[in-house]
């Protein structure tokens, strides 16, 4: 399946502006769940294109492996949370929990001049977070 490459709905105001970045990794329990997840993607991308404070987003879809990575950059944390609580993302994410096996999220800030973020950077940060969680008691 093709990836959805980095798109920039609203460029940051200045190259030295700080932006809030989120990377996520999702694995569905079944292939049907992966297809459902993927079919919701165009609606979510459309929502991001119109979202206030969205500075960039991309999707890496590996449907046969039931794995998806998302990467997005926002004006600030509040802009990301407003997006997450809005439709269609809110309803889609609730529905996806029924067929999700695992999900992971990581957040950090960068200067606007560092956009777009590479997939390598996103995957490195997700792996670091997974390692940190594995080292914590009760995991």
Six token digits for residue 98: 């029924």
pTM, rounded to two decimals: 0.91
Do the beta carbons of residue 28 and residue 37 sit within 8 Å? yes
The tens-digit pLDDT sequence of the chain (139 residues) is: 578 999 999 999 999 999 999 999 999 999 999 999 999 999 999 999 999 999 999 999 999 999 999 999 999 999 999 999 999 999 999 999 999 999 999 999 999 999 999 999 999 999 998 888 888 877 5
Six token digits for residue 2: 């093709």
Six token digits for residue 96: 């996806």
| 75, 97, 108, 118 from 111: Cα distances, Å | 11, 33, 11, 14
Residue in 59, 53, 43 with CA at minimum distance from that of residue 7: 59
């Amino acid at each position: 399946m093709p990836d959805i490459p980095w798109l920039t709905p609203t460029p940051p105001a200045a190259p030295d502006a700080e932006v809030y970045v989120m990377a996520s990794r999702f694995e569905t329990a079944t292939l049907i769940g992966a297809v459902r997840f993927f079919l919701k993607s165009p609606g979510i991308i459309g929502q991001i294109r119109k979202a206030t404070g969205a500075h960039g987003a991309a999707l890496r879809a590996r449907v046969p492996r039931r794995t998806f990575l998302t990467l997005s950059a926002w004006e600030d944390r509040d802009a990301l949370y407003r997006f997450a609580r809005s439709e269609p993302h809110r309803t889609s994410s609730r529905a996806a929990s029924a067929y999700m096996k695992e999900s992971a999220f990581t957040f950090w800030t960068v200067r606007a001049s560092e956009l777009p973020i590479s997939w390598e950077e996103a995957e490195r940060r997700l792996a670091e977070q997974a390692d940190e969680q594995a080292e914590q008691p009760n995991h």
